Amino acid sequence: MIAKLKQCAACGELKTIWKNYAGEKYCKDCWYKKEPIKSPKPKSEKKAALDGLYSKLRKEYLTLYPYCQARLDGCTANSTDIHHMKGRGVFYLDKATWLSVCRTCHEWIERNPLEAKDMEFSKTRL
């Protein structure tokens, strides 16, 4: 199978694309030359404000619940992450859908969605 040639964002030549970064496609030569790469689109003011509020709420929540609430095999006991049981979207700032977990348990929950639902670590968004 032969790869379709596409235009490189840095050199403009038709080449095999090596890396797709922030929606721009780069050939192997340009990517490894470390040509200046356009940074991703900046956040909107609304998203930046939401993220600021989330950081504050997250810090307070982790202070309230400093220990992992999942306690799965390999748990490190100290909470470092917030698991959004119903996903982020509209529930991004809804603390009723948050779970204070360690990184190990959070990774397990994300990798095993069906088991996590059975154990009530994740819920449907409806």
According to the model, what pLDDT value does residue 66 have? Answer: 96
Whether residue 96 is found in the same domain as residue 113 = yes
Domain that holds residue 54: 45-118
Residue 16 belongs to a domain: yes
Residue 64, pLDDT above cutoff 90? yes
Residue 37, pLDDT above cutoff 60? no
According to the model, what pLDDT value does residue 104 have? Answer: 94
First to last CA, the chain: 43
The phi and psi torsions of 87 (rounded to 5 degrees) equal: 85, 175
Residue 39, pLDDT above cutoff 70? no
13-30 tens-digit pLDDT: 888 887 777 778 888 787
Whether residue 19 is found in the same domain as residue 57 = no
Share of the chain above pLDDT 70, in %: 89
Whether residue 37 is found in the same domain as residue 49 = no
Q: pTM higher than 0.75, yes or no?
A: no
